[in-house]
């Protein structure tokens, strides 16, 4: 193996372990290659041994990749938690705006549908507050924490936040489904007009926002095995 191949193989061995985030992987590969070439250029000889020494001085690829993975997990945990808070706030705003619009437009429920409406409304409220509780719990869990010392600890923290966020997303799905039912109940017996587009657009926006968070959770869940692979199995169980 020639020295450029040693450097490229070493950089690839770190970058390959970070392929759960292609942009991080590319960046690390370029930085490692630049570092090793710079290191080689300052040595008297540029042979095979110098390249091997340079890679040895750089450190263990597995340990370095685990450190990058720890930071990646910390960043994703924070982002996921912040996204959940923003989602809850956005849904609250949309729900309040829709209720205000119902008041202005005087779109009340028919007397015979009122009992159903009240029951669905109660489920809506409890589901929404369950979501708020989970999101606040996730935020409080992270509040004040620095990046965990090990990848295993960060993995556990990430899993806890993903669980809390998933429960809050499920609760929000129930809440939005109730909103769809309540909107449908208000539309029953009315002629379709442009006015009806306002509540329909609002529930569509709620569904779309939840969909974005669901996609984010799924994307993280698919990349999770690559990051946990960087941690020794016994370390993760501890």
Partner 1 sequence: MLKGHLDLIVLAALSEGPAHGYAVIEAIRSRSGQAFDLPEGTIYPALHRLEQAGLLSSQWTVAESGRRRRVYALTRQGRRALADQRAVWERFSSAIGELLGQHRHARS
- Which segment (25-33, 90-98, 136-144, 222-230) binds partner 1 by CB under 8 A? 25-33
Which of 202, 208, 127 lies closest to 168, judged by CA? 127
Binding to partner 1 in span 205-224, by CB under 8 A: none
Q: Which of 2, 4, 22, 31 binds partner 1 (CB under 8 A)?
A: 31
The span from the CA of 131 to the CA of 124, in Å, is 11
The span from the CA of 201 to the CA of 187, in Å, is 13
- Tell me the closest approach of the beta carbon of residue 147 to partner 1, in angstroms: 7
* Contact status, residue 7 vs residue 38, Cβ threshold 8 Å: no
Binding to partner 1 in span 43-82, by CB under 8 A: 57-59, 64, 67-68, 70-71, 74-75
- 67 or 224: whose CB is closer to partner 1? 67
Helix axes 61-105 and 151-187, enclosed angle (nearest 10): 20
- Tell me the closest approach of the beta carbon of residue 30 to partner 1, in angstroms: 5
Please, is 112 exposed, middle or buried when counting C-beta atoms within 10 Å of its C-beta (0-12, 13-18, 19+)? exposed
Contacts with partner 1 by CB under 8 A lie at 14, 27-28, 30-35, 37-39, 41, 57-59, 64, 67-68, 70-71, 74-75, 147
């Amino acid at each position: 193996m020639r020295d450029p191949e040693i450097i490229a193989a070493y950089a690839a061995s770190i970058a390959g372990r970070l392929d759960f985030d292609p942009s991080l992987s590319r960046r690390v590969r370029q930085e490692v290659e630049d570092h090793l070439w710079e290191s080689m250029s300052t040595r008297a000889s540029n042979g095979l041994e110098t390249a091997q020494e340079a890679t040895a001085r750089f450190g263990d690829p597995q340990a370095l990749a685990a450190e990058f993975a720890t930071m990646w997990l910390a960043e994703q945990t924070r982002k996921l938690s912040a996204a959940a808070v923003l989602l809850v706030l956005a849904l609250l705003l949309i729900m309040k705006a829709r209720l205000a619009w119902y008041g202005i437009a005087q779109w009340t429920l028919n007397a015979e549908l009122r009992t159903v409406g009240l029951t669905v409304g109660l489920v809506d409220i409890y589901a929404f507050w369950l979501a708020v509780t989970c999101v606040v719990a996730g935020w409080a869990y992270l509040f004040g924490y620095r990046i965990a010392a090990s990848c295993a600890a960060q993995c556990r923290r990430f899993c806890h936040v993903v669980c809390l966020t998933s429960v809050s997303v499920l609760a929000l799905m129930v809440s939005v489904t109730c909103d769809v039912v309540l909107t449908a109940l208000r539309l029953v017996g009315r002629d379709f007009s442009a006015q009806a587009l306002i509540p329909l657009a609002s529930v569509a926006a709620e569904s779309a926002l939840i969909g974005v968070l669901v996609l984010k959770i799924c994307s993280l869940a698919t990349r999770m095995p690559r990051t946990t692979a960087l941690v020794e199995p016994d370390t993760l169980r501890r």
